[in-house]
Chain A
Amino acid sequence: MTTMHSPALEVAPRPRRWPKPTLLIGLVLLLVLIFAALFPQALARYSPTDFDYQAILKGPSAAHPFGTDNFGRDILSRVIHGTRIDMQIAIFTTLFPFIFGTLLGALTGYLGRWSDAVVGRIADLVVVFPFLVLVIAIVAVLGPGLMNMYIAVSAVGWVSYWRLTRAEVMNQKKAEYAQAGRVLGYSPSRILLRHLLPNAVTPAIVYLMTDMSLGILLGASLGYLGLGAQPPTPEWGVMVADGKNFMATAWWISTFPGLALTLAGVTFSLIGDGLADALRPRA
């Protein structure tokens, strides 16, 4: 179970003159998520981890708008507190792969030859190696939990960014402005960092948004196998998994965290589409 890749072909649609609401809506939703992640106490009425034996498996009500789970914990509060965890997952499963992958992609795309070949072979190894074996190996050595999940995902995730950026840099290298830079006698590092990378990074940034929701999903899948976030951490994917035994009797346990997952997915996707518009190649 690796994350699905959705790379190079993610090309920005044609330029449009008027600003689209997509990005705006995306950013507003993102602000809401960030606010909930930073100040969960301001929004949540209960502790996400405290039991209430008097309120076990209660349906949505005024006291508990999203109902309670099998420990009497307030689902709404857990969903709100879960925002922080899931935003963390979105960031930490993608940040390192993004930085490392794009820089490496720019470098090997520019230098080519043996550096490209070496990294290419390593990337092959990563891609053909079953992700699950790697995750469980890491988890077995370091223990399950979010941090170790980040390590496992990062060990694999950089490949997509490397591919995207490398391909883009190789294209741009042929572009006129790069040739011009070379004629003007700019140093390779200046051409690479100041001219090529900014132009070549667009697909990677657009992909980053998709990758963030895939990261959250992966967290949920690993949670299903007991390798993701550990209880009582209120992580949305794990909450959905926890609720699966109560689907017939207490639908609210898995439905509301599921909605939260969808909301986050939509947010990232809107921003991704908006960014694709805004960041379209200037060349």
Chain B
Amino acid sequence: MNVKRMSRIALSLAAALTVGQAFAATRGGQMTFGRYADSLFLDPVLNDANLDIWILTNLYDTLLQPTADGKGVQPGLASAYSLSKDGKTVSLTLRSGIKFADGSPITAADVKWSLDRARNPDNGAWVGLVGSIASVAASGNKVTVTLKKPDPSIIPALATFNTGIMPQKLFNAAPGKNDAEKAKAFAEKPIGSGPFVLSEWKRGSYMVLKRNPYYWKMGEDKKALPYLDTLRFEIIPDDNTRILKLQAGELQGAEFIPLSRVAELKKDPKINMVLFPSTKVNDIIMNNRPKLKDGSANPLSDVRVRQALNYAVNRDALIQLVTFGTGKPMKSFMSSGTPLFDPAQKGFNYDPDKAKALLKAAGFEKGLEVTSMATSGSADDQALLTALQQMWGAVGIKLKIEQLDAATKTARYRANDFQMRTGAWTDDIADPSEITGYYAVNGDTEAAHTGFTDPAIEKLFIQSQQETDKTKRAAQYRQIQTLYAAASPTIFLFETPYAVALLNNVKGFNQIPLGNNIFEATWLAK
């Protein structure tokens, strides 16, 4: 080897280094992330809980993907998509050369099979999100989704976890007599289309994901993502332990940091305490029916009482007490991060005098007593309701707190056997129809079990579900939000962020407002 050649190598090496610095991202390594509880069932369609949903897109890629801000949609396994003029046909072009984590090609047939599985009414809780699909056709690299009626939420639906693409052949090869058994067997060691693939899973303890070498997306260095070789989830249910483990460097990241610890961790020089914007709203659900389940009269059936309760809430104080300054007041029933949230919504300001006047008008100037269910053992519920006790007490409303374990609380709520309860919601899809269908429309779940119904909202909602014109749809949603606030079937409290603590060397991690943890572009700085 001569000197000239040596220096050339040195030069190209230096060039590579500079390039590397320009792109900054370092490849390789393992990131260990502390979760508060383990996943239950890693099936994109049949899962039931956020514990699964929020990591599923790392295992199963979707045709389209939510943008980093969670409000829009970008191409995924499909490199291009278009909606027909009548809004009833979606045409998608599959990216060329895409493969599952075992190296086998992702075909249009796999896509058709996955979408058909997701919309099969026998399959799980998320069917409604793709209920408008009439049929799916596949040929070559083209996938055509035909709708029963125009559906403005179909594009975001194709970017949602339950339309994740699965390998038909491998699924069918899984042991089991029927699809349900095959699904269980497959989900224990799934081979998917996402940036990572499950390599080891010790339930309740840890889960190891390996880099999928066939993932299509390119990193800043023009090589395939993800940057990480290994992503390891450790299950650490106790908040303190999770934080201690992060501080000791045994974890590189930890989710669900209690909001009470955020300020303290922000001061820790080794830690990057991040508050990701979310679509999480925290509210109080009220029973709006004239009579409660036990037959007694329900003062909350009077809209003035419901408004009074809303005006008597000092949201700024609550945000300090319960969210330690990290939250912001709710202005509408949907979060400000939900598409078509109306920024002109005012919500309720804190006005105890107005509350008293409203109560007087409703015939309750001598006060009244209400009862709210809370989840026992939830520090947040306790803080919230004890604070509300004081605020409402000031306008003559006595709040009784009924602590119940979560399962009992859910059962009572589903049976409409409650007067008030603490509630929370996070969107699963980048579209307002999901939360509106649940909160404002008296459908299967009776407007979040409030029993509330408003014919004008019902009509607007049906229209908006077929409205393909964005401006018109936004106007419909503005009206729905205004009508809802006036009727105040629930009590608006506050929006809270996702609190994730990372070590300083962790870069490129994102938790989008829908909750999905995105590790595809995460890397560890040296």
Q: Which residues of A come within 8 Å of B, CB atoms?
A: 49-51, 53, 56, 70-71, 136, 139-140, 143-145, 225-227, 230-232, 242, 244-249
Contacts and interface: CB of A to CB of B under 8 A. Distances in A.
B463 interface: no
Given A51-B387, A245-B240, A249-B264, A230 B403 contact: yes
Contact of B386 (A136, A231, A249): A231
A84 to B, nearest CB: 19
10 contacts: A53-B321, A56-B321, A136-B405, A144-B376, A144-B403, A144-B405, A226-B377, A227-B377, A230-B376, A242-B379
B402 A143 contact: yes
B387 A248 contact: no
A223 B71 CA distance: 41
B260 interface: yes
A270 B4 CA distance: 88
B260 A226 contact: no
B374 to A, nearest CB: 9
Nearest to B408: A140
A70 B383 contact: yes
B-side binding surface: helix, strand, loop or mixed?
helix
A241 to B, nearest CB: 9
Specify the main secondary structure of chain A where it touches its partner: loop
A144 B378 CA distance: 13
Nearest to A51: B390
Contacts of A56: 320-321
B418 to A, nearest CB: 13
Interface residues of B, number: 26
Interface string B378-389: 110011001100
Nearest to A72: B321
B407 interface: yes
Interface string B477-519: 0000000000000000000000000000000000000000000
B401 interface: yes
Contacts of A136: 405
B139 to A, nearest CB: 55
Nearest to B263: A249
Contacts of B320: 53, 56
Nearest to B321: A71
Contacts of A244: 240
A242 B377 CA distance: 10
B261 interface: yes
Contacts of A145: 403
B264 A248 contact: yes
Contact of B404 (A51, A70, A144, A246): A144
B477 to A, nearest CB: 36
B11 interface: no
B317 to A, nearest CB: 6
Interface of B: 239-240, 258, 260-261, 264, 317, 320-321, 375-379, 382-383, 386-387, 390, 401-405, 407-408
A143 B386 contact: no
A70 B260 contact: yes
Nearest to B244: A248
B273 to A, nearest CB: 14
Q: Which are the 9 A-B pairs with shortest beta-carbon distances?
A: A226-B377, A226-B376, A231-B382, A144-B376, A230-B403, A245-B260, A144-B403, A249-B264, A232-B386
Contacts of B403: 143-145, 226, 230
B73 to A, nearest CB: 38
Contact of B405 (A226, A245, A247): A226
A143 B258 contact: no
Most chain B CB neighbours (cut-off 10 Å) among A51, A145, A231: A231
Given A51-B390, A53-B317, A245-B261, A227 B376 contact: yes
A245 B390 contact: no
B378 A247 contact: no
A143 B405 CA distance: 8
Contacts of B377: 225-227
Contact of B260 (A51, A53, A231, A246): A246
A41 B311 CA distance: 34
A72 to B, nearest CB: 9
A139 B408 CA distance: 10
Contacts of A49: 386
Contacts of B378: 226
A22 B261 CA distance: 44
A260 B33 CA distance: 38
Contacts of A143: 402-404
A140 B403 CA distance: 10
Given A51-B387, A247-B240, 20 more contacts: A49-B386, A51-B321, A51-B386, A51-B390, A53-B320, A53-B321, A56-B321, A70-B383, A71-B321, A71-B386, A71-B387, A139-B405, A140-B408, A143-B403, A227-B376, A227-B405, A232-B382, A245-B258, A245-B261, A245-B379
Nearest to B377: A226
Of A51, A53, A56, A226, the most chain B CB neighbours within 10 A belong to: A226
Contacts of A71: 321, 383, 386-387
Nearest to A225: B377
Nearest to B376: A226
A56 B382 CA distance: 17
A176 to B, nearest CB: 55
Contacts of B239: 245
A253 B317 CA distance: 21
B261 A140 contact: no
Contacts of B317: 53
B93 to A, nearest CB: 51
A140 B382 CA distance: 18
Nearest to A49: B386
Nearest to B260: A245
A11 B276 CA distance: 61
A68 to B, nearest CB: 13
Contacts of B390: 50-51
Most A CB contacts (10 A, CB to CB) among B239, B240, B317, B377 go to B377
